[in-house]
Structure 1
Amino acid sequence: MFDKRGATIFAWALLLPALLYILAVVAYPLVQTGILSFTDASLKRTTAWVGTANYDRIFNETFAGVILRTFIWTFFSVLLKMVIGTFGAVLLNAAVPGRALFRLLTMPPWIVPMAIGIFMWGWMYNGQFGMISGVLQNLGLADGPVAFLAYGNSAFWATIVTDVWIGVPLVTLYLLAAMQSIPQDLYEAAWTDGASRFYRFRRITLPLIVPAMITMSMISLISTFNSFDIIWILTKGGPSGSTTTMIIDTYRTAIGSYKYGEGAARAVLICIFLSIFSFLYFRLTSRLSPEAAR
């Protein structure tokens, strides 16, 4: 049997591998990025300390527009994924024939490699050969080819639609699992009392899956905020910067222009925003689950 001191040492010994992993993989690169953000690091051999000059360049009119665009892109993408995913989970949770098949059909957007799915959408958005443009012309809704990725507004919403298509299956399956954990006795009692289907959803299903919805929305928010593949493959941030988000701008600055110091400053800003989101998330969940916060 261990005494109190021995138990403490044993506990720290068990935690040591995880602590070393966090220090090596998370903490050290984060600190190095923070230090790099205060320098003029680039391809030149010498690096000088520039203080907050990189951050001063960030908060100009151009980058302010990039920040706003990133928040708008993230907001609508996450909102659509949560709304569509919630309704999809409700439908898949219903006792209908072929339910297993319908659940299986929700998986392809999530199973297909992301790059292949994005290239597929890029082909459908093509004005000359794309399916969407062809359907609109056949229905008389367009007079000619519609090149969705050639114009700012349509390209912006096209990237959102693609991101929603990729993200909805995960949201649907996550919320479906939450719905299936609800005791059926609650629904039976409500049905016996004459409660309608909508009333049962509003009074039983929705309140009990709120914690799962908050968790899923937070996961989706972080992944969407940091989404790079979709925008880069479809538009590379164009046309004219209409789909340039913070992560795209950071990549262009650090990798495309070899301005590592300025790129690091942008990466630090992204980290700060996501830390704020995480803090608000934990505050919200602690209010919903006061017992878990103790």
Structure 2
Amino acid sequence: MTSQRGALIFAWLLLLPAIIYVAAIVAYPLVDTVILSFTNASLRRTTDWVGWTNYGKIFNETFFQVITRTFVWTFFSVFLKMVIGTFGAVLLNAAVPGRALFRILTMPPWIVPMAIGIFMWGWMYNGEFGMISGMLQRFGIVDGPVAFLAYGNTAFWATIITDVWIGVPMVTIYFLAAIQSIPKDLYEAAWTDGASRFYRFRRITLPLMVPAIITMSMLSLIATFNSFDIIWILTRGGPSGETTTMIIDTYKTAIGSNKYGEGAARAVLICIFLSIFCLAYFRVTRRLNPEKRA
């Protein structure tokens, strides 16, 4: 009994630094944000308890549009990352000359500092001297300059394309590792039976990549849902709020308008949405893993 108690104490001592770190970095700010969401905190010295007032202000027609826009923006961005990343990984895994060079060339969007990459896209979207507008005019697709970030629809898709460009390399490398972990015997047996390349991809590669796809989709969803830099640098949520997502709206409310209580309520709502996503992820992974389900 003494030995078991000593081992238990020793185990807790080993976990203590991690527990302190989680409590200081995660638990305390989270609890403080929840408490702040029930107050009218601002630049004033006095703070009063207002109960559910801040949450009542959230659920209006404008914010419902922000929530819908956030989900649409996240869905298309994550979907495109998964599709492009999957086919990119398959191509990088193919036995072609210069494969190592192609793998290296996929990394710049991930290696280049995010702010620099976003500013580069901002210049390309410029209507007067941007490369994209110039190419469209050169090929006769448009008659004049197109300021992509000046109109709601084009600005919305421009931010999605930029986010996809930044996120695809990580997805591709992750999926490439998943493909390379698939036993070669399965491909050799299918090739011996006369299976085509597409059939092997559909019946071997894709099914065995499902766990990796689900995991990366979840990680990408969380990162995309909380994406701030891309939208803020390109459009600051404009024009006319057409690219304002929940994280941008939270920042504008808390920092831009100095309404810290209302901003905290919005942050809590974001945390609730992400928690629901995580619970759904764990439920799916449990069903895919028979051992955990048992």
Bin of the TM-score, shorter chain as denominator length: over 0.9
One-letter code of the match for 2:216?
M
- Show the counterpart of 2:147: 147
1:293: how far off?
Answer: 4.7
Specify whether residues 286 and 136 from structure 1 end up closer, same or farther in structure 2 by C-alpha distance, changes over 3 A only: same
One-letter code of the match for 1:65?
Q
1:290: how far off?
Answer: 2.2
- Show the counterpart of 1:237: 237
- Show the counterpart of 2:258: 258
- Show the counterpart of 1:6: 6
What is the correspondence of 1:7-46 to structure 2 with a 5 Å cutoff?
7-46=7-46
One-letter code of the match for 1:34?
V
1:89: how far off?
Answer: 0.3
* Rounded Cα–Cα distance in structure 1 between residues aligned with 2:194 and 2:85: 28
Paired-residue identity, %: 81
- Show the counterpart of 1:96: 96
Moved over 2 A (4+): none
One-letter code of the match for 2:46?
T
What is the correspondence of 1:180-199 to structure 2 with a 5 Å cutoff?
180-199=180-199
* Rounded Cα–Cα distance in structure 2 between residues aligned with 1:217 and 1:293: 21
Gaps of 5+ in 2: none
One-letter code of the match for 1:13?
L
* Rounded Cα–Cα distance in structure 2 between residues aligned with 1:18 and 1:150: 47
* Rounded Cα–Cα distance in structure 2 between residues aligned with 1:17 and 1:2: 24
* Rounded Cα–Cα distance in structure 2 between residues aligned with 1:2 and 1:224: 50
What is the correspondence of 1:82-231 to structure 2 with a 5 Å cutoff?
82-231=82-231
* Rounded Cα–Cα distance in structure 1 between residues aligned with 2:292 and 2:188: 29
Q: SS at 2:68's partner residue? A: helix
Corresponding pairs, count: 294
1:6: how far off?
Answer: 1.4
Alignment partner of 1:57 is 2:52: no
Q: SS at 1:3's partner residue? A: helix
One-letter code of the match for 1:128?
E
Superimposed CA distance per residue, residues 113-153 of structure 1 (whole angstroms, 9 cap, x where no aligned partner): 00000000000000000000001011111010000000000
One-letter code of the match for 1:271?
C
* Rounded Cα–Cα distance in structure 2 between residues aligned with 1:63 and 1:200: 46
With the length of structure 2 as denominator, give the TM-score of the two structures: 0.99
Gaps of 5+ in 1: none
Superimposed CA distance per residue, residues 11-33 of structure 1 (whole angstroms, 9 cap, x where no aligned partner): 11111111111111110110000
One-letter code of the match for 1:237?
G
* Rounded Cα–Cα distance in structure 2 between residues aligned with 1:281 and 1:209: 16
When the two chains are superposed, the root-mean-square deviation of aligned CA atoms in Å is 1.0
* Rounded Cα–Cα distance in structure 2 between residues aligned with 1:274 and 1:293: 23
* Rounded Cα–Cα distance in structure 2 between residues aligned with 1:221 and 1:153: 22
With the length of structure 1 as denominator, give the TM-score of the two structures: 0.99
1:93: how far off?
Answer: 0.5
